[in-house]
Amino acid sequence: MLFVRFLKRNILLYFRDRTSVFFSFLSTIIVLAIMIAFLGEANVSTTLGVLGADQAGEHLRASCLIIRWTVAGIIVVNAVSVSMTLVGVMVRDEESDTMSAFLVAPVKRAVYVTGYVVAAVLVALLMCILTFVLGELYIYCIGGDIVTAKEACEVILIIFSIIFSSAAFVFLCAVFVHTSSAYGGLTTVIGSLMGFLAAIYVPYGGMPDMLQDIIRFVPAFQGSSAIREVMMRREIQWFGCDDAVKNGYSEYMGLVVRYGDHTVSSMGKVLYMFAAGVVLLGIAIFVLNRKKQAER
């Protein structure tokens, strides 16, 4: 089947280019370096200051909280960076006129477009799940409790929704870019902003009110919030402080998203990301159709 062969071709192009694979994970390496070298112990100390309990093992619990908070952010960054690398194959094909050679065949443009997007989703899903598993293995090695099977399934569903919305956004951006150099610059800008838009470098509650009002509508932040809510809720409940303190900590760290008096559930965040992905894909397809009509 042509679609399967085209899909396989796009995936293999990604894994054969080791430099491209490395740079798609460069933002992950930067986040880890920052968290380990500068912010890790400070965040643990802050968490203990807020949630500190008299029970033994509170430092380990606080460490697990921060690790999971960081891993959730890294998953979001990977979802965007890996998607951008895969969709970049489309830009290179267009720049080298390979796309024109494809379109000579009696195959609808939608088949090729779908091949690029699905390849991005599949590879990003693999890499994000691998990141999640490695994070849980690290927590297990330091003596923490890993997530339950139910929580793992919830996380995988959330990861898929993050990747879907991310791939749709990246594809929309790629529609307006026609050279690899321009796309590389776009990748750098988006990769740099993603750490803030997903509330990775700075907790949601530590941002100015105006920025909070903006990023709560960003699908990437909704995704990081949903994963954190699922992965961290058992750890937070372990501490013996008042529920009001726990709720305040959850909101400050971005586990809770509110619009006025309404608190968005994990499933609500997932639906929001899927809806955003559908809208972004619809806009991208509309723009492509307009370009196709203009070329005639």
**pLDDT tens digits along 75-109:** 888 888 888 888 888 888 777 766 666 666 666 76
| Comparison of pLDDT for 1 and 176, the residue scoring more | 176
Residue 157: pLDDT above 90?
Answer: yes
pLDDT digit string, tens, across residues 43-55: 677 777 777 655 5
Beta bridge partners, 259, equal: 262
Least confident of 48-52, 154-158, 182-186, 190-194: 48-52
Residue ranges per domain, the chain? 2-295
Q: What is the mean pLDDT of residues 216-238?
A: 87
pTM for this entry? 0.87
Each residue's pLDDT tens digit, 229-253: 998 888 888 776 777 878 888 888 8
Q: What pLDDT was estimated at residue 27?
A: 63
pLDDT for residue 217 is more than 60 = yes
pLDDT tens-digit map of 10-44: 888 888 877 767 766 666 667 666 666 665 666 67
Give tens-digit pLDDT for 113-144: 788 888 889 999 998 998 899 888 888 888 88
pLDDT of residue 53: 57
